[in-house]
Every structure is written in C-alpha cells, then in structure tokens.
Structure 1
Amino acid sequence: MGSEHATPDKPAGSATEVFVTFLKLGLTSFGGPIAHLGYFRDELVTRRCWIDEAAYGDLVALCQFLPGPASSQTGFALGVLRGNGLLGGLAAWTAFTLPSAIILVAFALGAAAFTGPIAEGALHGLKLVAVAVVAQAIWGMAKSLTPDRERAGIALAAVAMVTFAGGSLGQIGAIALGAVAGLWLCRTQTTAPVGHLSFPVSRRRGAWALALVATLFVVPPLIGQATGYQTITLFNAFYRAGALVFGGGHVVLPLLQAEVVTPGWVGSEAFLAGYGLAQAVPGPLFTFAAYLGAVMGPAPNGLIGAAIALVAIFLPGLLLVYGTLPFWDALRLRPSAQAAMRGTNAAVVGILSAALYSPVWTSAVLSPRDFVLVLAGFLLLTVWKAPPWIVVVVLAAAGAVVKLL
C-alpha cells in the first residue's frame, strides 16, 4: 500500500505523524499558497524525504490543474501519501487549517467589541491591506500566466465578461471561455511533463469521489430552492465557490463576494476587514470562509455557520484531488488538457483584475490618504518583499493614526 516515492529507509508513516507535522506548518506557514508550497518542499521533500523532487513537482502540477486551494490540496495529497490513505489526508488538512480558522472565527465573534476611532481606523486599514494584497497577486500572476498576446487577450475578455455579466454567472462564463480559448490559442505552448505518481487510492474510490463532487454540486441547490432551508443554501454557496476557484486562494474573493455580499448576508465593510485580517494569519486563505460563516447575518452563523462554511469551501477541492490521484498520470500527458488550463489560468487573472476594482478598490480606497497607504502596502509586498503579516500590522496601525488625525 505504500507509495513508490517513499525513500527506502522512510516507510509509510501514520496519521498521527502527519497531523503533528502539518500542525507545525499550519502555525508557521505565512505568505499565501505559493509560499506554502515552498514550506512544504523544505519540510517534507528536503528534510523529511516523504516524496522526491520530481514527484513533488508533479503533485503541485496536479493541484494547480484542478479547481480549489492548491496548497491545501497539495498538503492533503501528501497526507494521503504519507498516512497511507484518506485518514492521513484528513489529518494533514485538519492540522494545516485549524490554526488560522480559529483565529479568524475568534475575530469574527469579537468584532462587535472593536468600537471607537482607533478600532474603526484599524479595521479600515485591514480593508486597505486587501487592496494591496490582491494587486500584488494580480501583478505576480499576470507575469507568469499571461506572458503573451493570446493569454493577455483571454484575460481582457474575462474582465469584460465578469464586468458586464456580473455575479457568479459571469465568473463561470469567464472560466469556460478561458478553457475554450486555451484549446484554440494555446496548444503550441504545451510541454511534456516528467516524473511519475503513485498513491494508495484505488480507481474505484477515485471514481466515487468524483461522482460525489458532481452530486454535491447539483443536489443541494435543488433542495435549497425547494425548501428554502438556509443551512443547505449556506453549504451550497460556499461549496460552489470552492468548486470554481482556479489559480489560488485570492481568486476566491470575487466568488465569495458574489455569494455572501450580493445577497446581503455579510456587509461589504465586514467582508473586506476579514479578508484583510486573513492575510496576517498562517495557513490557507480559504479559512476566510470560517470568518464569513461566523459573522453573517442569517442563521446558521457563529460557530455552526463557521464550521459549515469551512467544510463546504474545502470539500470540492479535496474530493477532486482524491478522485483524480489514480488517473492523473494518463490525464496530464494530454496536450488538450495542458492547453485548456493555460487558457483557464489567463481567465483567472482577468477575474481577479475585475475584483480588484469592485468590490475591493471601490469599497476601501475612499480618499487620497487611502491611495497612499495602499501604494505603500503594495511596494512593501513587491519591492521590499515584506511578509504579508508585516503589511497587515503597518496598514492597520496607519489606518488608526489617520483616523485620529
């Protein structure tokens, strides 16, 4: 049952070992999904030798190919590998996710206590952090994902579609457009992957997981519409957002905005304040969902809402990677799959660019002072390479000072 990628002197471990290892990573992995993948490589490839370099590169490629949070999916798959199955994957996800989720839920439940000009200024500073971080994400993604005219054009078309169609329909349409355009325009850019992956997941279990992904995407909306049961509607909103995210954690911002701000479940200010705080905590950015589930107006909210939202947003991505592991070697060799993903990634840049304007910029940058602070945060991230938590501290403090002045 063990993987061929475990070194000869490092046999398969246990779920307990996986949990302890990923708890350390969950407490210390700042900086977003790309940084998380670097932490994983240092700890699990270089130091612990759970998987070799080539196989790790293949695994990262798989998780970037699929919708969902790439770093959490990679951690989950490494847990499946080391913990010899699903229990190991769940141990890795739980340990990596809980620290940041607990912090964000605690902030959500205590947000009402933040009153007065200093607290208001600090919360506004967190909204400005969101502007700087999303701008940095677009800057980095555009350089790698839209390096030529074809993909830049796909990104521009995605901006137009999201802007004019609006809501999750425009975002889904932009992703579909990107995939079709990629098949047409990006076929000549494909490269043959290397390496080989083998995981303790049978094809039968993989097929069941993929079938469950589709079932949960179709059935809960029908039940929610028929019954009006808010718990089902809440689960469906976050599940749909998690199922449609390509390109990393920041891309979930416009999807969640459409699901929770547009219907009035969460106010725009609370949404952006929580998103800004999410930059300061370690672990996956998707734990922002726990904050939203706790702070939203209609019940279930609080701890129950946080738990539902957290599980729902991660579930499709984890099911997809678990279901795809047995089939990935054959799928990734197809040029059409590589071309479609190139187009989809370019569309992601466009979706995130549209979100940078609305709701992020329009809700946070209200004065020339705000613009100066956002620019300072952006330069801290891109030029001085400051970690995101430093930017959070600086802009929250600056927002409080500006409010007092």
Structure 2
Amino acid sequence: MDQAQSKASEARETSQTTAVFLAFLRQGLTAFGGPVAHLGYFRREFVERRGWVSEGAFADLLALSQFLPGPASSQLAMAIGQRRAGWPGLIAAWIGFTLPAAVAMIALAYLAPSLTAIWGGSWRHGLMVAAAAIVLQALVAMARTLARGPVRAGMAIGAAAGLVVAQGPMAQIFTLLAGAAFGYALLRDTPATDAPDLEPAGPAAYRPAVLALAAFAVLLAGLPFAAAALDDPTLGLVSVFYRAGSLVFGGGHVVLPLLESEVVGRGWLDRQTFLAGYGAMQALPGPLFSFAGFVGASQQIAVSGWAGGLLAVTAIFLPSLLLVAGVLPFWDQLKQRPEARGALAGVNAVVVGLLAAALWDPVLTSAVRRPTDWALVAAAYVFLAVARLPPWLVVVGFALATGFLTR
C-alpha cells in the first residue's frame, strides 16, 4: 500500500513539474516586451487563467523578486514554479521560460554581421506598443488590489512620482525600503491571507535553503579567485556572468552597462557586435538576461559557440536560482508576522508605483514616437482588456501591422 502511494505521489510530482515546464515554455515563446511586460503576462496566466497563485501571493512573490538582485521576471517565474512543484518546479520554470530566447540568441550569434539588417526598427516598434498596453492592463488590475484606500494609493502615487524624477536601481531599492517602513508604521492591521498558497515551511525546507544561500556566497567570492589562480578563460567567463547576475538590481536593461564594460573592455567582443546583439534581444520574447547566450557564443577567448552560450546563460541565471531557493522559505515565515505583513503591504503599494513609473519610462517613452502611437497603445489595450484577446496574438498582430505599414 505504501509503495503504491509512493508511486502515485511521484507520478503526481512529475506531472506537476511537466505542467510547470510547459506553461513557462509557452511564456518563453510568447512573452514579448521585456521584464515589465512579463509581469502582466504572468499575472494573466497564473493568477487569472490557471489559478496557480492568488492575487495576494502573486504580489508577495513580486515584492520578493524586486528585493533580490537579478532579473525580476525570471525570479518571479522561479518562485511560481517552486510554489507549484517544489524545487523541480523552480528549475522547470527557469528552463522553460529561458530556453527559447537563449536558443534564439545563440543561433543569432552565428549571424552577427547581418543582425542590423535582419531586425528592422518598425517591427520592434510594434512589439513595444503592444508591451505598453500589456503593462497598462497589469497596472490597472494590480492597483485595484494592492493600492486600495488613501494610504496605499498615496504611497503608490508618491512612489511613481519619485521614480519618474529619480531613476535607477538605487532609487528603486530606496523606494521599496521606504514602502516597507511606511507599511510597518501605518499598515500593521493588514489581515493575514485567508487561504495561504503554501503550508509554513518546516525544518526540512530550511536546510536546503541555507545550503543554497551558502553556495551563492561561496561562488560569488570564490569564482574570481579561482579564475585568476588557474588562469582559466572558461572560469573567467563563468565568473563574469555569475557576478553580473549577482550584483545587478533593476532588471535586464541594467545589465547592459555592466556586461559592456566587462565583455568589451576585456576584448571579448567589439562594441558594434555587442550592441547589435542587444538590439536583437529586444525583438525576442523571454528574459533579457538571455542576451548572455549571444555574448557567450560570440566571444572567442574562452569556449565559444553553443557550449559558450549555454555556459554564459547558466552562469548569469544561477545566482537568481540560488537566491530564490534560499530566501523563499524564510519569506513565507516572515510574512506571517503582523509587522511583516504591514511592511509587505507597503512594499506592494509602492510596487504599483514602480510599475507605473516603468510604464512611463522606458515603456511608453520607447513605444510612443508620434501622436498616432497613443491611438495604437489605446487600441492594443482595448484588444487585451475589452476583447480579451490572447496577449501573444496582440503582440504578433501589432508587430506585423507596424512592419508592413511602415515599409
């Protein structure tokens, strides 16, 4: 009897992991528009359509991903996968979401000389118009839930105004910390979640979490010394991308200057090839950190080609995987305290403001080039919010339409 129950449990876990992989593979194939737009895709798919996490749990995980360094949308994907299917689900979500863009960028590395001719700006413009509508839809839905009442609404508006004026990763971190402080002081009466999505973690969950955090710290400190001591170009490549994934706050766009100084400064790639690859990444779905695949496959100092690309992608995402796995069990326990719930409510309120500021810059400032573009954004929003068309269909339709109309 026990053996039969064990086999049934294993089959159920395998089925859940497979479902997580396929769900995020779909997102990796269709989630255009960059990390801010991914939040809208994820909310629609995993909160509204599949019901894998509640609105409150989605906001909790989003706040956690904003606090951690690295790609926020990928960390949110990993956290949702972990919620659904444990550690296997976390890894399955990362692979599914990252794989399409990583493979595409590695393949594009072989076409680097002609990248500029292949990717026209008009097609990318259509993608950004659709992305703006997706972000707007997510902002409206999250504001209704997370910025209710005068205190939270005021925090969201203040955060948005502040981040429009003072941009950058440090401004985002300060805003999140300020939201936590105001929430701690003003929102401690926030009720606990009526139906938690996950049972409180026990001692068995803390042990692997501590090991993950220890591995993160050891690799961050040890890889540069190991690469220098052994004079190994492959370890040097891993060290550069692991450090980029560990120290970048603010999402995929922020990694550009850090990688450029490391990669171009070391002579691994010329600046023109580097920027051409980064431009191509904007027209692809999935996480922007997949750009590492292009750099790893293009450079000729260490192992290159497909092996170099996969190594670079793994190295830049590994810190996020270790951090999410290490912090999430403690996060679940911490948010049960009244003070922590108040702080978290404050963070969630300013996350709405952060999303609003990101909608303005870089999303709308990149998508709206002329007055008629406002009409295109409004039309895309109507297709999404009123007609309820699938986001991927709106994205592809607008990309094709703008591409043909501006030829």
TM-score, normalising length from structure 1? 0.70
Contact 1:127 1:269 in 2 (8 A): no
Determine the C-alpha separation between the residues in 1 that align with 2:296 and 2:402. 24
Structure 2 partner of 1:25? 23
Q: Deviations over 1:186-235 (max 9, x none)?
A: 212232544534579443322222344566678889999xxxx7864543
Shift of 1:306: 5.5
CA positional deviation for 1:403: 1.2
Amino acid at match of 1:74: I
Aligned amino acid, residue 78 of structure 2: S
Displacement after TM superposition at 1:183 (Å): 0.9
Cα displacement (A) at 1:102 = 2.8
Contact map agreement 2:110 2:298 (CA 8 A) in 1: no
- Give the aligned partner of residue 243 of structure 2: 236
Q: For 1:268 and 1:137, how far apart are their aligned partners in 2? A: 30
Question: How does 1:328-367 map onto structure 2 within 5 Å?
Answer: 330-367=333-370
Gaps of 5+ in 2: 32-40, 66-71, 228-235, 262-270
2:383–2:389 Cα contact (<8 Å) kept = yes
Amino acid at match of 1:339: G
Q: 1:204 to 1:140 in 2, by over 3 A?
A: same
Shift of 1:127: 2.7
Match of 1:204 in 2: 207
Are 1:403 and 2:381 counterparts? no
Q: Distance in 1 between matches of 2:223 and 2:351?
A: 26
Shift of 1:339: 1.4
Matched residue, 1:257: 253
Whether the aligned pair in 2 keeps the contact of 1:104 and 1:288 (CA below 8 Å) is no
Match 2:64 to one of 63, 66, 87:
66
The answer to whether the Cα contact below 8 Å between 2:130 and 2:394 also exists between their aligned partners in 1 is: yes
Looking at structure 1, the residues matched to 365 and 145 of structure 2 have their Cα atoms a distance apart, in angstroms, of 27
Q: Deviations over 1:250-302 (max 9, x none)?
A: xxxx5332331698679999767744542xxxxxx4x3320365279995898
Structure-to-structure mapping, 1:188-227, within 5 angstroms:
188-194=189-195, 196-197=199-200, 201-213=204-216
Of residues 90-99 and 347-356 in structure 1, the stretch that sits farther from structure 2 once superposed is 90-99
How far apart, CA to CA, are the structure 1 residues paired with 2:156 and 2:298?
A: 36
Note if contact 1:79-1:91 (Cα within 8 Å) is conserved in structure 2: no
In structure 2, the residue matched to 1:249 is none
Indicate how the Cα distance of structure 1 residues 101 and 353 shifts in structure 2: closer, same or farther if over 3 A, else same: same
Q: Per-residue deviation at 1:133?
A: 2.4
* 2:388 counterpart SS class: coil
Determine the C-alpha separation between the residues in 1 that align with 2:128 and 2:56: 36
**Structure 1 residue 334 displacement after superposition:** 0.5
1:71 Cα offset (Å): 3.4
Residues 213 and 323, structure 2, Cα contact 8 Å, conserved in 1: yes
2:148 aligns to what SS in structure 1?
coil
> What is residue 231 of structure 2 aligned with on the other side?
none
Alpha-carbon deviation of 1:38? 4.9
Q: Structure 1 residue 321: deviation in Å?
A: 4.0
Asked if 1 retains the 8 angstrom alpha-carbon contact of 2:63 and 2:347, the reply is: no
Superposed displacement of residue 375, structure 1 = 2.0
Shift of 1:174: 1.3
Percent identity for Structure 1 against Structure 2: 31
In 2, Cα distance between equivalents of 1:238 and 1:353: 25
Map of 1:75 onto structure 2: 81
Pairwise CA distance, 1:60:
5.9
Q: How does 1:289-368 map to 2 (within 5 A)?
A: 289-291=289-291, 294=294, 307=310, 310-311=313-314, 314-324=317-327, 326-327=329-330, 330-368=333-371
In structure 1, the partner of 2:136 is 135
* Alignment correspondent of 2:384: 381
1: CA distance, partners of 2:355 / 2:83: 27
Query: Residues 297 and 309 of structure 2 are in contact (CA less than 8 Å); yes or no, is this contact kept in structure 1?
Result: no
What is the one-letter code of the residue matched to 2:397?
V
Aligned to 1:37: 46
> CA 1:223 to 1:186, structure 2 compared with 1: closer, same or farther past 3 Å?
farther
Distance in 2 between residues matched to 1:118 and 1:233, nearest whole Å: 28
Instruction: Note closer, same or farther for the CA distance 1:392–1:373 as it changes in structure 2 (3 Å cut).
Output: same
TM-score, structure 2 as length reference: 0.69
| Aligned residue in 2 for 1:169 | 170
Cα distance in 2, alignment partners of residues 391 and 112 from structure 1: 31
Q: How many residues align?
A: 362
* Per-residue deviation, 1:178: 1.4
Alpha-carbon separation, structure 2, partners of 1:109 and 1:337:
50
Q: CA RMSD in A?
A: 4.4
The 1:158/1:377 distance shift into structure 2, 3 A limit, reads same
Q: Once the 2 structures are TM-superposed, how far is the Cα of residue 179 of structure 1 from its aligned partner?
A: 1.2
Equivalence for 2:36:
none
